[in-house]
Amino acid sequence: MDFITVESEGPIQTLTLNRPLVRNAVHGPMAAELATAVAAFEADDELRVLILTGADGTFCAGADLTSMRDPDLRNVVTPDGSGSGPMGPSRLHITKPVIAAIEGHAVAGGLELALLADLRVVASDATLGVFCRRFGVPLIDGGTARLPRIIGLGRALDLILTGRPVAANEALSMGLATRVVAPGGALTAATDLAYSLAAFPQECMVADRAATYAGLDQPLAEALRAEGSGGAPIVEREGLAGALRFAQGSGRHGSFDAQHQ
């Protein structure tokens, strides 16, 4: 990999966007590396949680607009919206948790990469926004699909139409940020969060994650049936063991111990 770094430690993999001279803006070759790395994470049964972050204090400034006129460097834009996405992995199906650790700017296509994550840990001095509004570059990496699902239609349209900057505390208040931490602390906090997720019984957590996303596009009755049918077998495979741990005293008096795989 020339434009990202890939680090694995136990069940956690961290992908770092690494073009700091252009604030980790993504051109075609970098997008291809991102798509390959995310697909490899998805295929590796030993890896449980993915962290996306950026080098040198910036998450991602979006697509590299300076490369758009170079056929060797420009991001791949397909007329029918097929492929993994111009920013790389934005259209890939990921079945395991993804966390974005955001310092500096996560704007335009960088915001869309952050929206790919289930959880976003944001430094208190970070800035998010649809900055590509100013340059006539549309959201084609999931922004219009994911942003309303995460923060609601009204707030999403505010960000999409105006392109205004959003500070970390406002992002937290609207649900765009999951956690706000001190500057420089996003990756550490995201890593701690990743390990806590990796320690849970995995089949149950992954099934609940999948049911949550699927239910967004289903009528309530259908979503309830799908949740029940998907979860019922896991009660036998993981839930009975968990119930036994509870009966033996685990989790009593408000303690929260996820260290059971």
CA distance 49 to 37: 13
Cα torsion through 160, 166, 171, 174, rounded to 10: -50
> Which residues lie closer than 8 Å to 105 by C-beta, 6 or more apart?
23, 58, 59, 60, 61, 126, 127, 128
pLDDT digits (tens, 9 = 90+) for 172-184: 999 999 999 999 9
DSSP letter for each residue of 169-207:
HHHHHTTS-SEEE-TT-HHHHHHHHHHHHHTS-HHHHHH
State residue 254's pLDDT score.
67
**Contact 207/235 with Cβ under 8 angstroms?**
no
pLDDT > 70? residue 259: no
Model confidence at 196, pLDDT cuts 50, 70, 90, reads: very high
pLDDT digits (tens, 9 = 90+) for 130-156: 999 999 999 999 999 999 999 999 999
Q: What is the mean pLDDT of residues 93-121?
A: 98
pLDDT digits (tens, 9 = 90+) for 9-59: 999 999 999 999 999 999 999 999 999 999 999 999 999 999 999 999 999
State residue 257's pLDDT score.
63
Q: Poorest-confidence range of 74-78, 191-195, 246-250?
A: 246-250
> Which residues lie closer than 8 Å to 42 by C-beta, 6 or more apart?
92, 93, 94, 95, 96
**Contact 178/120 with Cβ under 8 angstroms?**
yes
Helix extents (H) in 11-108: 28-43
pLDDT digits (tens, 9 = 90+) for 205-255: 999 999 999 999 999 999 999 999 999 888 888 877 877 787 787 877 767
To the nearest whole number, what is the mean pLDDT of the chain? 94
Kindly report the pTM of this predicted structure.
Answer: 0.93
Percent of the chain with pLDDT over 90: 85
